Structure 1
Amino acid sequence: MKKGGYTQSRADHTLFIRKRNGKLTTLIVYVDDMVITGDDKEEIKRLKEVLAAEFEIKDLGQLRYFLGIEVARSKEGIYICQRKYILDLLQETDMLGCRPADTPIEPNHGVQESVGEDYLDKERYQKLVGKLIFLSLTRPNIAYAVHVVSQFMHNPKIPHMKAVERILRYLKSCLGKGILFRKNDRIEVEGYTDADWAGSVGDRKSTSGYCTFVGGNLVTWRSKK
């Protein structure tokens, strides 16, 4: 990619970018899956030919599914979600028939590190939380709850597992929710942040959160203790 005039992103080493005649072409790769996009149609065609000459590749056409992320296009814009991923997760955990929850975590939950009996299947807890972390790539509405349960990966207890199950029950209530990227004329960058100020009962530390919009579209978000 570098020999072909592409620059490797410092923020994500799997992302390659090329600017030519005021137009942009990008490629992002994960193991043997890649996405090519941009507004330089000639360069995209050339890049595909270069890759085909070097590797055995298959062009699957317009992006519809990538690493568990579903992509849909309409006049409104591009919509991404992980509905199938959630259904598979609920089936794996035998929670397809569970009672849905209205929120991903209880208000004033008070989940602490040292409260409750040990949850004996530590590996299962870690696996589930890992999958929820990946799911939060398209679901900012679970970012805080996932951040809470991810703090107890080393020593999970039964209340922590109950909190994980609460997230799964919430996901059942909103399977198809995701993020819509609209094409707008404006490109302003907006950021919002807040903190709960010593909200942790155990150590009196704060949890802060932020989200960033570019042109009215949500692009980054995070919750951090």
Structure 2
Amino acid sequence: MMRLERNLAAEFEMKNPEDLKYFLAVEVARSSRGIFLSQRKYVLDLLKETGMLGCKPVDTPIVEKHYLGIYPDQKPVDKGMYQRLVGRLIYLSHTRPDIAYAVSVVSKFMHSPCVDHMAAVTRILAYLKSAPGKGVLYACHGHMRIEGFIDAD
């Protein structure tokens, strides 16, 4: 690992990554278990800005068997506000893979969002309220093998 760091430092201006605690709204915590990445402050700021800090949390980020789509009789919402919110959720999904599916669903309606789509975004925010400090743990196993898991039918 030291050789890699030396080689990279020879080509690029670098800081010692062990000093890293917070970068681009990502909180970095190191322990003997590994490296934990979260965006707790980002989530709390997002909830505060949207007035959802005091909301009742929900257990899932999207309603099971949702029927979101584009229908002729839908009432539109502020497109700019919707796009900003969804954009922030897309950025958050880097450390919160549990919201990735729900965010991909609501991002399909960026061009013409309606009340139902905004309600789905609001539900994602209510889900985030249930555990704002969730994140991703890159566990230390003492080897350099890459492990991956999938849950597919």
TM-score interval w.r.t. the shorter chain? Answer: 0.7 to 0.9
**Does structure 2 conserve the Cα–Cα contact (< 8 Å) formed by 1:115 and 1:157?**
no
Give 1:23 deviation, angstroms: 3.0
Q: Report the TM-score when normalising by structure 1.
A: 0.60
Code of the residue aligned with 1:99 in structure 2: it is K
How many residue pairs end up in the alignment? 152
Partner of 1:182: 139
1:1-225 residue pairs with structure 2 within 5 A? 23-25=3-5, 40=6, 43=7, 47=10, 51=13, 62-114=19-71, 117-184=74-141, 185=143, 187-190=145-148, 192=150, 194=152
Runs of 4+ in 1 over 6 A off after TM superposition: 58-61
Q: Report the TM-score when normalising by structure 2.
A: 0.86
Give the 3-state SS of the residue equivalent to 2:148 in structure 1: strand
Code of the residue aligned with 1:161 in structure 2: it is M
The CA RMSD measured in Å over matched residues stands at 2.8
Structure with greater Cα Rg: 1
**2: CA distance, partners of 1:188 / 1:66:** 24
**Does structure 2 conserve the Cα–Cα contact (< 8 Å) formed by 1:71 and 1:79?**
yes
Code of the residue aligned with 2:32 in structure 1: it is K
What are the ranges of 5 or more consecutive residues in structure 1 without an aligned counterpart? 1-18, 26-39, 53-57, 196-225
What are the ranges of 5 or more consecutive residues in structure 2 without an aligned counterpart? none
Give the 3-state SS of the residue equivalent to 2:150 in structure 1: strand
Aligned-pair identity (%): 49
**2: CA distance, partners of 1:134 / 1:102:** 21
**2: CA distance, partners of 1:91 / 1:136:** 18
**1: CA distance, partners of 2:69 / 2:23:** 36
